[in-house]
């Protein structure tokens, strides 16, 4: 009761001070006024649960918010050409950010985007989204039909999706390299390069596909680091490259044949897939996405969208080309790359550098069996100081970037041991560069995922001014059960320890890091996972680390703004900030917690432009419906 009273008093004090935003904007004639709503400003910037004042209305001119306040105050700003819309009590919140997601890899899996953009003259693409038994039954027939349609030498891609609730991921993903293997696809498709793609990660290439991928990179392949070339970049296990050449199976190697080879000379096609994919995600209230850009093909596609002003959301990116570690031995290259950080447009800018490779699952926890630790060792600690080759090389790359004044970010992390090694490197490189603690904190180094963040590391994060992401949706999709099986209860408590981070004053953001656009899952499932710690079956995991809906809302909005170092322009609804926000069909802050899963996004605006608008509200407001979810016939087309 006392904490709730303190929160209510804080909101009242903020509300009394909100008029200054209105006064600063009096001379601006708005393009849009939204009134009679619940506008959650999130203007309190602290690492806490205070959302700031909830006001009735806001006004937008150009790409920015120019006023928030009461209906009377804001509507008085209207001019003859202002579009004023009645929210009818609906809630408005700042746009969500996903600070670690891979739309470059997920968007091409969306069947409705495939239908809109692709045809058999581009390449032959077929998609299965049926049960595991049906997938096995239908796959040979679907592949044979695709081969019959394909011209000699033409690429074929077959996708096997994981169901509306991601419920088939383990079974269908497990088919790759087993029931569906290289021998089978080589026999059916001997004359066409072929990639079989799982519904998230996982690929199988036939021999023709392997050969064409190798040929595409030509002499450069010999220059790739053997520990982080396209086949080993996310595996890292010894012998991984030879295994891929032999079996055609790789966890994340699909990025390279898909983005660099499959769409070679077709940047416009790949860019349109990406444009529609980002537009689709605005239908979940997302207005910003941070991603590692893995390939030259993806870089060209996103850059072309930015240059044409066609990015539907803000897209800060992270440098990630670990196959060429030798680049980071060149001081000119390192300094030039560091100089690019924070540079770009309002939609597309370099936000961090991931110089070496992803951090591995090595952990200080003993494991529940010798087999668990043996499997862990097989993956190698990416930053092991006792590894004279792989570990030392990765450490040197990160050290060089940090010492040159760069910002570390975008790295997948798993086990706490590699996370501790990373902190060691940041501390040492910063010290060797002569940085003060204030200068170190200003870098705002970050790392992502945190599925096993040892809470003993949190004081070090706090001291360095670092922040973290977190893909809590892994709790919902039953990832905690695997963690318990391998490492016990302590590991479950370390999964996305939001409450420990909040209590320590360490800012966190929110990730998705899985394709949700072909499923029933929305961004609100991610928030729900952090609030309840429930999986899809209702079981609660690590309840001590649950946080309030207010806290995770701030992580999803303000956290993204701070992660991308754009908090002066993003993350809250205040005069002078970019007009990036969403309109919801129900009150996120007061509805029963289980009803959060049912929230629908009625409208999303990015930079003063409507990117998503469902038909019912479009009719109500006298505006055209908008966005890929509506235009391509997604569920939102019926809202």
pLDDT of res. 412: 87
**What mean pLDDT value characterizes the chain?**
94
- The average pLDDT across 412-418 equals 90
Q: Which residues contact 564 (CB under 8 A, 6 or more apart)?
A: 97, 99, 288, 290, 314, 316, 349, 351, 570
The reported pTM is 0.95
Please state, in angstroms and rounded to a whole number, the distance separating the CA atoms of residues 185 and 331.
46
Residue 197 has pLDDT above 60, yes or no: yes
Which band of pLDDT confidence, cut at 50, 70 and 90, is reported for residue 237?
low
Residue 17 has pLDDT above 50, yes or no: no
> What's the pLDDT tens digit per position in 342-363?
999 999 999 999 998 877 788 9
- The average pLDDT across 236-257 equals 89
pLDDT of res. 1: 40
pLDDT of res. 289: 99
Please state, in angstroms and rounded to a whole number, the distance separating the CA atoms of residues 500 and 497.
6
Which CATH superfamily hosts domain 2-95+577-607? Urease, subunit C, domain 1 (2.30.40.10)
Residue 455 has pLDDT above 50, yes or no: yes
Residue 285 has pLDDT above 70, yes or no: yes
Please state, in angstroms and rounded to a whole number, the distance separating the CA atoms of residues 597 and 549.
12
Q: Give the pairing type, strands 581-584 and 601-606.
A: antiparallel
Residue 31 has pLDDT above 60, yes or no: yes
Task: Pick the range with the lowest mean pLDDT from 6-10, 241-245, 570-574, 602-606.
Answer: 6-10
Task: Pick the range with the lowest mean pLDDT from 14-23, 102-111, 281-290.
Answer: 14-23
Q: Counting beta carbons within 10 angstroms of the beta carbon of residue 148, is it exposed (0 to 12), middle (13 to 18) or buried (19 or more)?
A: exposed
Residue 24 has pLDDT above 60, yes or no: no
Which band of pLDDT confidence, cut at 50, 70 and 90, is reported for residue 22?
low
Which band of pLDDT confidence, cut at 50, 70 and 90, is reported for residue 226?
confident
Q: Give the pairing type, strands 32-35 and 57-61.
A: antiparallel
pLDDT of res. 23: 38
Task: Pick the range with the lowest mean pLDDT from 3-12, 370-379, 497-506, 562-571.
Answer: 3-12
Residue 263 has pLDDT above 80, yes or no: yes
- The average pLDDT across 387-407 equals 94
More confident: 17 or 159: 159
Please state, in angstroms and rounded to a whole number, the distance separating the CA atoms of residues 222 and 212.
15
- The average pLDDT across 244-251 equals 95
% pLDDT > 70, the chain: 95
- The average pLDDT across 404-426 equals 94
Sign of the torsion formed by the C-alpha atoms of 457, 201, 564 and 474: negative
Q: Where are the domains of the chain?
A: 2-95+577-607, 123-265, 307-318+342-563
* Cα angle: 165, vertex 168, 171; to 5 degrees: 165
> What's the pLDDT tens digit per position in 151-168?
999 999 999 999 999 999
pLDDT of res. 25: 42
pLDDT of res. 320: 95
pLDDT of res. 7: 46
- The average pLDDT across 478-492 equals 93
* Fold of the domain built from segment(s) 307-318+342-563: TIM Barrel (3.20.20)
Residue 62 has pLDDT above 90, yes or no: yes
Tokens 């040979």, residue located: 140
Which band of pLDDT confidence, cut at 50, 70 and 90, is reported for residue 70?
very high
Q: Which residues contact 186 (CB under 8 A, 6 or more apart)?
A: 206, 207, 208
pLDDT of res. 28: 78
> What's the pLDDT tens digit per position in 110-144?
999 999 999 999 999 999 999 999 999 999 999 99
Residue 18 has pLDDT above 90, yes or no: no
- The average pLDDT across 506-530 equals 97
Q: Is residue 77 within 8 Å of 33, Cβ to Cβ?
A: yes
Residue 476 has pLDDT above 90, yes or no: yes
- The average pLDDT across 270-283 equals 99
Please state, in angstroms and rounded to a whole number, the distance separating the CA atoms of residues 295 and 301.
10
Provide DSSP, 559-618. HHHHHTT-TTTSSS--TTSB--EEEESS-TTTS-GGGGGG--EEEEEETTEEEEE-HHHH
Residue 128's DSSP bridge partners are 160
pLDDT of res. 236: 60
């Amino acid at each position: 009761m006392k904490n709730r009273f303190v929160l209510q008093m804080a909101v009242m004090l903020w509300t009394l001070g909100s008029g200054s935003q209105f006064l600063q904007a009096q001379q601006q004639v708005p393009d849009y006024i939204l009134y009679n709503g619940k506008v959650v400003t999130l203007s309190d910037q602290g690492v806490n649960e205070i959302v700031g004042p909830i006001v009735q209305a806001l006004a937008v001119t150009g790409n920015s918010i120019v006023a928030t306040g009461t209906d009377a105050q804001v509507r008085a700003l209207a001019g003859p050409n202002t579009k004023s819309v009645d929210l009818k009590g609906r809630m408005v919140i700042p746009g969500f950010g996903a600070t670690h997601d891979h739309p470059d890899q997920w968007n091409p899996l969306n069947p409705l985007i495939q239908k809109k953009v692709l045809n058999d003259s581009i390449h032959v693409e077929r998609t299965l989204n049926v049960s595991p038994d049906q997938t096995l039954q239908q796959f040979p027939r679907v592949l044979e039909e695709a081969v019959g349609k394909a011209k000699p030498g033409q690429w074929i891609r077959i996708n096997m999706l994981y169901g509306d609730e991601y419920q088939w991921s383990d079974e269908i993903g497990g088919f790759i390299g087993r029931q569906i293997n290289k021998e089978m696809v080589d026999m059916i498709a001997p004359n066409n390069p072929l990639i079989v793609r799982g519904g998230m990660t996982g690929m199988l290439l036939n021999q023709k596909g392997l050969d064409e991928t190798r040929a595409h990179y030509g002499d450069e392949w010999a220059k790739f680091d053997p520990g982080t070339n396209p086949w080993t970049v996310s595996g890292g296990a010894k012998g991984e490259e030879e295994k891929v050449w032999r079996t055609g199976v790789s966890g994340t190697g699909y990025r390279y044949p898909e983005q660099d080879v499959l769409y070679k000379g077709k940047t416009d096609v790949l860019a349109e897939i990406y444009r529609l994919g980002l537009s689709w995600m605005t239908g979940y209230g997302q207005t910003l996405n941070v991603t590692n850009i893995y390939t030259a093909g993806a870089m060209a596609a996103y850059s072309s969208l930015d240059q044409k002003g066609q990015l539907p959301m803000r897209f800060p990116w992270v440098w990630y080309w670990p196959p060429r570690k030798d680049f980071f031995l060149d001081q000119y290259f390192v300094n030039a790359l560091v100089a690019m950080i924070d540079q770009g447009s309002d939609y597309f800018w370099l936000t961090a550098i991931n110089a070496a490779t992803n951090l591995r699952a090595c952990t200080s926890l003993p494991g529940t069996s010798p087999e668990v630790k043996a499997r862990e060792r097989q993956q190698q600690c990416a930053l092991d100081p006792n590894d004279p080759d792989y570990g030392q090389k990765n450490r040197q790359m990160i050290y060089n970037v940090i010492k040159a004044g760069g910002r570390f970010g975008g790295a997948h992390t798993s086990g706490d041991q590699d996370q501790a090694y990373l902190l060691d490197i940041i501390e040492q490189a910063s010290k060797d560069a002569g940085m003060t603690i204030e200068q170190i904190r200003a870098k705002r180094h970050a790392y992502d995922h945190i599925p096993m963040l040892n809470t003993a590391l949190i004081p070090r994060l706090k001291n360095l001014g670092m922040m973290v992401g977190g893909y809590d949706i892994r709790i919902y999709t039953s990832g905690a059960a695997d963690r318990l099986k391998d490492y016990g209860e302590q590991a479950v408590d370390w999964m996305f320890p939001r409450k420990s981070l909040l209590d320590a004053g360490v800012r966190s953001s929110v990730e998705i890091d899985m394709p949700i656009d072909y499923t029933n899952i929305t961004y609100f499932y991610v928030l729900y996972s952090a609030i309840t710690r429930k999986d899809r079956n209702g079981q609660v995991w690590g309840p001590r680390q649950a946080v309030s809906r207010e806290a995770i809302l701030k992580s999803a909005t303000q956290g993204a703004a701070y992660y991308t170092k754009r908090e002066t322009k993003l993350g809250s609804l205040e005069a002078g900030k970019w007009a990036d926000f969403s309109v919801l069909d129900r009150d996120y802050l007061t509805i029963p917690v289980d009803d959060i899963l049912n929230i629908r996004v009625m409208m999303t605006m990015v930079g003063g432009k409507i990117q998503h608008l469902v038909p019912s509200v479009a009719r109500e407001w006298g505006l055209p419906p908008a966005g890929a979810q509506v235009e391509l016939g997604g569920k939102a087309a019926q809202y």
